[in-house]
Amino acid sequence: MITPQDIKNLENHQRAWSRRTFLGKSAQAIGTLALGSIINPNLLGQQQPWRGVLDGPHFYPKAKRVVHLCMAGGPSHVDLFDPKPMLNRLHGQPFPESFTKGEQLAQLQGAELLARGAAVDFRRCGISGQMISNLLPHTQSIADDICVVRSMHTEQINHDPAHAFMNAGSINKGRPSMGSWLLYGLGSEAENLPGYVVLVSEGGGGAQPISARQWSAGFLPSKFQGVQFQSRGAPVHYVGNPDGVCQSTQRQIIDEVARLNNLQKEHSLDPEIETRVSQYELAFKMQTSVPELADLSEEPQSMLDLYGVKEAGDGSFAANCLLARRLLERGSRFVQLYHRGWDHHSKLDQNIQVASTLVDQASAALVKDLKQRGMLEDTLVIWGGEFGRTPMGQGTGRDHHINAFSVWMAGGGIRPGMTWGSTDDLGYRYLNDGQQVHVHDLHATMLACFGIDHKKLTYRYQGRDFRLTDVHGHVVNGIMT
Amino acid sequence: MTCLRRAELIFCLGLIVSASAEPIPEQIEFNRDVRPILSNTCFKCHGPDTEANQSKLRLDLRDLAIKPHVNKAGRTITGIVPGKPAESEVWMRLTSSDPVKIMPPPDALHQVTEQDREVIKRWIEQGAEYQPHWAYIKPKKVAPPAVEPTGFARNAIDQFIVRELEEQGITPHPEADRATLLRRVSLDLVGLPPTTDELDLFLADDRPDAYEHAVDRLLSSPHFGERMAVPWLDLVRFSDSVGFHGDQNQNIFPYRDYVIGAFNQNKPYDDFVREQLAGDLLPDATPEQIVATGFNRLNLMTREGGAQPKEYLAKSAADRVRAVSTTFMGSTVGCAECHDHKYDPFTTRDFYSLAAYFADVKQWGVYNDYKYTPNPELKGFNNSFPFPPEMDVENDYLKRRAIRLQQAQDERVERIVENILARPSERRRVIDWARDNADVLFESNGSWSVMEVVQATGDDLTVVTTQSDNFVRMENIPKADQKGNDKSGTLLVLAPASGTISAVRLEALPDLQGSGTVARDTFGSFAVSPQIELRRKGATESQKIELAGGYPDRDSWTYINAYLITSVESRWQTAPQFAREKHNVVYQLAAPIEIEAGDQLVVTLKTTNLARTRLYSSPLGVRRNWDDVVSGLSSAVATAVSSAGAILTDAQLRLLAAEYFKSTGATDATAYATALETLREIAACREGMAFTMITEAMEPLETRVLPRGNWQDESGEMVQPAPPSFIAKGLPVSAGRSSRLDLAEWIVSPENPLTARTQVNRMWNQFFGTGLSAVIDDLGLQGEYPSHPELLDWLAVEFVELDWDVKAMVRLIVSSATYRQQSTYREDLRNIDPDNRLLASHPSRRLGAEFVRDNALFAAGLLDPEIGGPSAKPYQPEGYYASLNFPKRQYQADLDERQYRRGVYTHWQRTFPHPMMANFDAPSREECTADRTVSNTPQQALTLLNDPTFVEAARALAERAMTEPSQTDFESRIEHAYRLVLARSPTQAEATGLKEFYFTQHANYSDEMEDAAKLAAVGLRPTNAVLDRVELAAWTQVARVLLNLNETLMRY
């Protein structure tokens, strides 16, 4: 197992290595004996499956797994989680220039800025009394289980880089996504299933494109990348046998491949062959376990009803939430669900209703279901978009907004039933009151829930120690249990 | 442990190792011994980035390190007092027991070991001499060292390698056996395994330099360029899509062909660099040199609504600096975007000065003309449009494809003509056709007759008038006067002349409405979608006429996802640059019709801006150019009419028969449909021309230092183009503003210490799996001190002295005895050289993603050997592009030989790379990538087991194994299959077990005949019908085993 101290030792070894080898000295140096065990294939075997680069946690870990409900497009905070009576009163009036002067705008560039009040009313919910929009009646019902963060802010005002930033903490391509960092740090407990799974739901229209880069391992080894499950067809690419090959003949193929690979190993002594053989075994197991996972028929009707699944395997957000729970149960480390219907530049009143209806019940059901199974306490749930929407109107809708947006989190070390952070009277900007939460802070906090010091989970690439939070990030202790 | 990236291997496993007690060298050498420690543990705060430095102590420069200064506490200290560790602040801090004073701070990520401290101590004692960083001083060539005359060494490389081995008392491995060697070098140089003929010839070649001959053969193969292009395309982030947001397609494949061609022609590397950076600035730049400048256009691009042009220009500039510095200098200048580099002496100013070279590259921050971000030059653009500037260039692949298609077409027509001539009744029909259509065939204008306008009606937006000569004029009804909301278009009832109609032509003419443009406005672009129906005389109903082609007489603005559409029957949009010229389009009828007197065509033109038009019909079909005149046709028709065919020459009869087929289909509807489809494909080849993005120079935009990389902050100083200040200081600087060409000259100057080292180090990485300096994308301070520094320098100087001859360097490397060693893993060196950096054996390496594909297809005999051309679309899981939008994507796998093109031609979608490629570690090419990770995952197993590409390849391989050997026994067949895939014979143990496996499969499929048929049906390629289905299925299973072997994926 690996500790940060080991990493340091390793680096020392690397330096020593270049010295030793190229000075041509001390092949018999004491250290080399120890080094020899490095590529002992038997030890390699022990690294299978990958259990993470971190030996022990830096802090007491609360979360073991995370499900990120990514509301792609950018849900409007002032319509969902951040009621602004002042904004309602100002509806239709010019938006005060003192707020917007010199600030970045997206499609509202050069337009007259008018305040736009909330589409619907809010209600005080649960014992905690959190204010949640009537667009989200089911979320209202879990108010005491969730922590609403109103002081989120980001740096990227267009979807593509904002997604990159939310997922990888950087807009530079080739950076690992947060799920990849977690797998790299902690490995996965899933047997025969990917540790990092992404599902994209259909429905609602207005779908912004998303990119596989959002679950890419970037410069980390590609085994840490997210595996996208398809809504239709084979859930994982190439997981189904070819036409005309049944599971038993496929098994025979794998056995014969293993036999020949092992014969080859006697000749080439290549330690990598052992890994290859084990990957075929794992692949074969996945061919069984993935369809079993995706098969919702063993779920009772009451469970389908809880989530609002109309038809199993219909690719809906509801079906994906249920699938997410099954993945989490089986030990996946990071499950990310995209719902792509939140980019409400126009017809906000109708469209936000549609999007809310598609995700509200299942999001709440996931929290309830995890709770009733006793999994919520070590499962971190994160719900939110890549940015928010302007309190200014854009015709009948709202534009992208980076100075304030809301997310909610639950379980896995997050304090339930609380609201964290605030925005100004018009919902334009987070208040600089010590409760502001930058995307880097969200990442730092997420890692902290897993017991990881975000400054210490690093990977050396191009000569630099990279981390999810770049050179930023503060853990938001106030929302942690 | 599934991942093999070398660095990671060490990374994960180093962990079990405790700090090794390494003897400290007697004479400390700064670059080798000290710099790595200082760089890793000190420079972050006491290095070039002064902003991060909380004290005044700097350790990266000796002058500053040894200079006494007053610290924050007011005490005068000296970082390093040469010769006196005890008086050096550094030593005191390193050894302090006070947690506040000790350095590095206890919470720092990187700590020093006892050994590190001792090294530093001894270095200070010895005078604390610094050395410039090895990579920043010009490489020097030392004579290759003399080594024991064991007969191992073949060239200078070996002398350097063997010297190190000798010092360690290690004997190199013997040369690999010939078959292994040929497979290895073939896969390395052309990315394909040897054919069985090549293998036999090589095994039989008893010349002492047989291997060198084989290498020369491979170096002169046109597939060499394809293989060499792959790592280069990763560096330059070559891709078929733009990357941001909608990730639309971009036209750039001619640049890829340029790269392949450059390696094939052995273009000197310095020219290769010049042309890509600044080909457009070279005197009398050739089209090829301008195509090369596509390099500067491979940054990500966006046309997302609401994106800010300045922000994206800043992103592109940074993207370019990263790509240019990594690609040409092996440097990470990108780190200096927000702050001075923490390890290397790159300043933020260097970053922006480097970016400034590219400030003249014509581009747009947002490739659309949104009202909130107006780009008047892109007026009329939408998500389907390309990303200018582009150039229309000749492309050899498309030329060859057009010729091939035309030949196939000609042969098809020829066969039909023979059939016709063989049958008197058919010949009679030819003569009848000529007579019936004689009038129009005599027309010298390409045999068109104007269709008389019987009736012309507009919709609720359009008023239509018929003018003399059957012109139809359409005008917009002012909004206020519009009565309804019918937008169905203009309805024309036409009376064509009787006879055959196989093509309809629409002519659009300039009109006064648009002040002389073909549209109703001055912009001058119109779009039209036609619908044609036939109404027989006296009938009330009409029947729809399907169109199977629509060929305009000039390039249009009809695009689907950036690709120009050459057959526009469903929608034709004209380009505004031809606004004042007459336009024509020839619509080809899917099934020709015979018109009797009184029959009418009902034509609906869906358009809102076509101004004036006239329609024609013609009996001449399978044609694209409306004004083509078939030579000799008139006289043949005349003869046919006058003599009822009696005195036609054979040539005339053939000509008429051919035109008769093209006009009517000659009762062979299938052949006619194929002919029309072929015509469409020929048109798509655009006479061998292709658009490609290029660099067009413009007045440079101003470049400022962006404080903390913030594009909205305009307070930073203005910078002019300049190379990083500390490298190659002596290089001349041109007067006035430096250009991209100046940058290129600076890069390829022999004085530049980085360029040649970077490239030869990458080549070494390509052939040995690890660079001589292992971090091939960072030769800077945080990179690795080379395993063989003198060899790296020797190669770098040699490269320059050989005038940057890439093939010569490749030949040198693969001819070395070092490369030619056996790859058998050295148990004896497990402790001494765990990473095989001493190269006492050949390091076996897995094939890259593209070559995993190529290898299987080639062994199967499926691979299309064509070079260059548009990217191809292999099978891909359904729905994989479902998350793309603007526009929505429908992936259509290629259905002809293009399905089997090499991996290097696979359509590269940055946001969703092909899953097979991604599973085998191909990068997304969004960012410059010098090295791929090499993983070993279950996804790879699933791909090789179940991807239809590999299943089809297995079946094709099975067919080869069954049909090619002269004997049909199992042993002959498995022998052949092994030779095809692995260039060797199976061992007894392998063959015996496989035979058993084969019979098991045979038994399985005998019971499941349906499964056998299903397995044979995977893929496009028709199955060899004579083969027994069960036998084929069993052999397909055997072939699947072979294609899944570890050895198949490896170069041993």
Q: Render pLDDT for B945-991 as a digit per residue (tens, 0 to 9).
A: 999 999 999 999 999 999 999 999 999 999 999 999 999 999 999 99
Q: With contacts defined as CB-CB under 8 Å, which chain A residues touch B342?
A: 464
Higher pLDDT: B832 or B864? It is: B864
User: In this structure, how many other beta carbons lie within 10 angstroms of the beta carbon of residue B62?
Assistant: 17
Higher pLDDT: A202 or B647? It is: B647
Helix (H, G, I), strand (E, B) or coil at B755: helix
Place A50 in a pLDDT band, splitting at 50, 70 and 90. confident
- How far is residue B190's CA from residue B200's CA, in Å, rounded to a whole number? 18
Contact B15 A157 (CB under 8 A): no
Mean pLDDT in residue range B506-522: 96
Q: With contacts defined as CB-CB under 8 Å, which chain B residues touch A286?
A: 938, 942
Q: What is the pLDDT of residues A125-181, one digit of tens each?
A: 999 999 999 999 999 999 999 999 999 999 999 999 999 999 999 998 889 999 999
Length of chain A: 481
Place B781 in a pLDDT band, splitting at 50, 70 and 90. confident
Instruction: Return the pLDDT at A49.
Output: 67
CA distance A129 to chain B (A): 37
Instruction: Return the pLDDT at B728.
Output: 65
Best CA proximity match to A360, nearest among A204, A191, A136: A136
Nearest residue on chain B to A221, alpha-carbon basis: B933
- How far is residue B682's CA from residue B402's CA, in Å, rounded to a whole number? 5
CATH number of A65-240+300-479: 3.40.720
- How far is residue B563's CA from residue B554's CA, in Å, rounded to a whole number? 15
Cα three-residue angle B208-B210-B212, rounded to 5 degrees: 105
Instruction: Return the pLDDT at B1.
Output: 32
Higher pLDDT: B768 or A464? It is: B768
User: In this structure, how many other beta carbons lie within 10 angstroms of the beta carbon of residue B144?
Assistant: 19
B1014: nearest CB among A230, A243, A276: A243
Best CA proximity match to B254, nearest among B300, B289, B205: B289
**C-alpha torsion A109→A113→A119→A124, nearest 10:** 100
Residue spans per domain, chain A: 4-39, 65-240+300-479
pLDDT at residue B598 greater than cutoff 60? yes
Contact B21 A245 (CB under 8 A): no
CA distance B228 to chain A (A): 22
Contact B13 A43 (CB under 8 A): yes
Instruction: Return the pLDDT at A16.
Output: 42
A160: nearest CB among B25, B302, B1004: B302
Contact B882 A245 (CB under 8 A): no
Place B335 in a pLDDT band, splitting at 50, 70 and 90. confident
pLDDT at residue B298 greater than cutoff 80? yes
Q: Are B692 and B255 in contact (CB under 8 A)?
A: yes
Contact B8 A8 (CB under 8 A): no
Instruction: Return the pLDDT at B732.
Output: 63
pLDDT at residue A43 greater than cutoff 80? no
CA distance A276 to chain B (A): 6
Residue spans per domain, chain B: 23-132, 421-687, 946-1051
Helices B1029-1043 and B970-982, axial angle in degrees (round to 10): 40
Mean pLDDT in residue range B554-578: 97
A200: nearest CB among B11, B788, B883: B883
Question: CA B363: distance to chain centroid?
Answer: 21
Instruction: Return the pLDDT at A48.
Output: 54
pLDDT at residue A34 greater than cutoff 70? no
Contact A260 B11 (CB under 8 A): no
- How far is residue A183's CA from residue A178's CA, in Å, rounded to a whole number? 9
Mean pLDDT in residue range A199-225: 87
Contact B164 A21 (CB under 8 A): yes
Q: For chain A, report the end-to-end CA distance as a whole number of angstroms.
A: 29
Q: What is the pLDDT of residues B167-213, one digit of tens each?
A: 999 999 999 999 999 999 999 999 999 999 999 999 999 999 999 99
Contact B1045 A257 (CB under 8 A): yes
Q: For chain B, report the end-to-end CA distance as a whole number of angstroms.
A: 21
Site from B247, B831, B847, B1004 to mutate, A interface, most A CB atoms within 10 angstroms: B831
Contact B1001 A237 (CB under 8 A): no
CA distance A162 to chain B (A): 10
Written as six digits, the tokens of B99 are: 């947690």
pLDDT at residue A25 greater than cutoff 70? no
pLDDT at residue B125 greater than cutoff 60? yes
Mean pLDDT in residue range B483-512: 96
pLDDT at residue B284 greater than cutoff 60? yes
Q: What is the pLDDT of residues B750-764, one digit of tens each?
A: 999 999 999 999 999
Nearest residue on chain B to A338, alpha-carbon basis: B883
Q: What is the pLDDT of residues A399-424, one digit of tens each?
A: 999 999 999 999 999 999 999 999 99
Q: What is the pLDDT of residues B339-376, one digit of tens each?
A: 888 888 899 999 999 999 999 999 999 999 999 999 99
Of A239-243, A313-317, B925-929, give the lowest mean pLDDT range: A313-317
Quote the pTM value: 0.91
A462: nearest CB among B32, B777, B936: B777
Of A299-313, B6-20, B149-163, B520-534, give the lowest mean pLDDT range: B6-20
Q: With contacts defined as CB-CB under 8 Å, which chain A residues touch B937?
A: 222-223, 279
Contact B923 A272 (CB under 8 A): no
Of chain B, the percentage scoring pLDDT greater than 90 comes to 85
Mean pLDDT in residue range B118-129: 93
- How far is residue A161's CA from residue A299's CA, in Å, rounded to a whole number? 38
- How far is residue B984's CA from residue B1050's CA, in Å, rounded to a whole number? 14
Of A346-355, B26-35, B613-622, B873-882, give the lowest mean pLDDT range: B26-35
B938: nearest CB among A25, A250, A279: A279
pLDDT at residue B134 greater than cutoff 60? yes
Residue in the block written with tokens 């199977």: B548
CA distance B746 to chain A (A): 24
C-alpha distances (whole Å) from B779 to each of B137, B320, B343, B597, B792 are 12, 19, 11, 82, 12
Place B734 in a pLDDT band, splitting at 50, 70 and 90. low
Helix (H, G, I), strand (E, B) or coil at A376: helix
Burial class (CB in 10 A: 0-12, 13-18, 19+), B984: middle
B3: nearest CB among A9, A223, A261: A223
Place B26 in a pLDDT band, splitting at 50, 70 and 90. confident
Mean of the per-residue pLDDT values of chain A: 88
Of chain B, the percentage scoring pLDDT greater than 70 comes to 97
pLDDT at residue A310 greater than cutoff 60? yes
- What is the residue-wise DSSP string for B567-605? --SS-EE--GGGTTS-EEEEEEEEEEEEEPTT-EEEEEE
Mean pLDDT in residue range B808-835: 94
Higher pLDDT: A45 or B744? It is: B744
Nearest residue on chain A to B164, alpha-carbon basis: A24
pLDDT at residue B792 greater than cutoff 80? yes
Contact B109 A456 (CB under 8 A): yes
Place A37 in a pLDDT band, splitting at 50, 70 and 90. very low
CA distance A3 to chain B (A): 7
Contact B21 A232 (CB under 8 A): no
- How far is residue B989's CA from residue B984's CA, in Å, rounded to a whole number? 14
Contact B832 A249 (CB under 8 A): no
B997: nearest CB among A209, A256, A279: A256
CA distance A36 to chain B (A): 4
How many contacts does A have with B, using Cβ atoms within 8 A? 424
Mean of the per-residue pLDDT values of chain B: 94
A249: nearest CB among B775, B783, B1037: B1037
A35: nearest CB among B20, B990, B1015: B20
pLDDT at residue A3 greater than cutoff 80? no
Residue in the block written with tokens 């002992």: A40
Contact A280 B168 (CB under 8 A): no
ipTM here: 0.91
pLDDT at residue B765 greater than cutoff 50? yes
Phi/psi zone of residue B77: left (φ > 0), alpha (ψ -120 to 50 degrees), beta?
beta
Q: What is the pLDDT of residues B379-411, one digit of tens each?
A: 999 999 999 999 999 999 999 999 999 999 999
CA distance A58 to chain B (A): 12
Q: With contacts defined as CB-CB under 8 Å, which chain B residues touch A254?
A: 945
Of chain A, the percentage scoring pLDDT greater than 90 comes to 74
Q: With contacts defined as CB-CB under 8 Å, which chain A residues touch B302?
A: 158, 160
Contact A256 B14 (CB under 8 A): no
Q: What is the pLDDT of residues B987-1016, one digit of tens each?
A: 999 999 999 999 999 999 999 999 999 999
Place A382 in a pLDDT band, splitting at 50, 70 and 90. very high
